[in-house]
Amino acid sequence: MLQIAFIRQNTALVKERLALKNFGDIALVDELVSLDDTRKKLQLEFDTTQSKINAASKEIGQLMAKGQKEAAETQKQEVATLKTTLQPIADQLAETEKKLQEQIVKLPNLPSEIVPPGKTPEDNVTIREGGKKPALHAGAVPHWDLTKKYNLIDFELGNKITGSGFPVYIGKGAKFQRALIQYFLDYNTNAGYKEFMPPHMVNETSAFGTGQLPDKEGQMYFVTEDNFYLIPTAEVPVTNIYRDELLKETDLPVKMTAYTPCFRREAGSYGKDVRGLNRLHQFDKVEIVQLVHPEKSYDVLDEMVNHVETLLQSLDLPYRILRLCGGDMGFASALTYDFEVYSAAQQKWLEVSSVSNFESYQTNRMKVRFKDANGKNQLVHSLNGSSLALPRIVACLLENHQTEDGIQLPAVLHSYFGAQMIN
């Protein structure tokens, strides 16, 4: 969440950065400043009136001590009159503060200065590529045929049990899924990330804290009876672990990782891009989250990008890293890098990770602070990334490593899966 003091002091800059993010209601910035003007005026009226009441009340005590009861009674009447005017001011002030809060959370985070302009994924900038696209054998097929051939995943069974987008992993398919999760977690914990196993549902306060509300209500599954949300990513519960906490500067950075299933309605998704594992309503993902000193967050962002890149390299997959343009960025992000892996059988790039710096946008909502060397409380910066999302990684591993005899697995997975091939 942006801070009203920053908006007031940098109104033109805020409008300029929001325009880069293609935010459609720039006039909201002026409305917020106007609301804050009203709030300041009401606060001054309230404070002035309260000060008069306090002074008059003090004087009443002094008059009574001197035996001037008549004068004291007059002052009491004055206090009573002031109190009747105070409550309407307090009510207006509370209403204005509420409206200011309701409106300010509608503003997305401001994009970083290095975010490229643009409106669609076609405007994203490729930072670098790695790996080599494989030359598949003549009979190569996409992953939805491979999973059927080797009895790894049953999409129709998932459709029977729940609906489309809820696949059932079977036998070696389930084992392969579990092997990848364990490898990703080990890779992260070996890099200093502490593992957590968080709840898979969160309350409204947690969803608000990371920016899912009020931006993504329609994309989350909602448990109406208890007012809980199924998590769209482990980022939500993991980042909220430190909500309302005051950290020591020496506690930073806080590095966390977690595996969870993720639930997304994916409303409006249809067509060839949702076939097989390309887009699901329930999928597995291993996440990394960091809470860091604000002066170090962009160095940490580069570190996290390198962390995910090295993980992809270990899987022998061709990949590219994109810096997202303003129009393709998430609501809460200041800068995002997407990782895409090339699907050889489908002959297209599939997103498998996003690594983002949210600066203080999330931590201002969650009130995650640290006490600096001068004893001043500051907001930490939060970052997160997929390390990694499994469905499309599985799709690309199956497709890119397929041979006529089976799926030849990367060397790093042999001990986790207990075999060198899936056949």
Known binding residue 357? Answer is no
Going by DSSP bridges, is the β-strand pair 402-403/406-408 parallel, antiparallel, or unpaired? antiparallel
Note the pLDDT of residue 269: 56
| Under 8 Å between Cβ of 2 and 358 | no
- Fold adopted by 4-104: Helix Hairpins (1.10.287)
Known binding residue 384? Answer is yes
- Fold adopted by 121-422: BirA Bifunctional Protein; domain 2 (3.30.930)
Q: Which of 292, 308, 423, 303 is nearest to 358 (CA)?
A: 292
Q: Which of 321, 339, 344 is nearest to 395 (CA)?
A: 344
- List of residues 6+ apart from 98 with CB closer than 8 A: none
Known binding residue 359? Answer is no
Note the pLDDT of residue 215: 79
Instruction: Give the residue carrying structure tokens 């430190």.
Output: 242
Known binding residue 265? Answer is yes
Known binding residue 314? Answer is no
Q: Is the pTM of this model over 0.75?
A: yes
- Tokens representing 174 are 């389930």
Known binding residue 287? Answer is yes
- Tokens representing 372 are 């600096």
Strand locations in 146-253 (E): 153-154, 168-169, 194-196, 201-203, 222-223, 228-230, 246-248
Can you give the residue ranges of every domain in the chain?
A: 4-104, 121-422
| Under 8 Å between Cβ of 75 and 3 | no
Known binding residue 128? Answer is no
Note the pLDDT of residue 316: 97
Q: What are the mean pLDDT values of the chain's consecutive 10-residue runs (423 residues total)?
A: 95 97 96 97 96 88 84 85 93 97 96 97 97 94 97 97 96 98 98 98 97 88 95 98 97 98 79 82 98 98 98 98 97 98 96 98 98 94 98 97 97 98 96
Dihedral sign for Cα atoms in the order 201, 279, 319, 397: positive
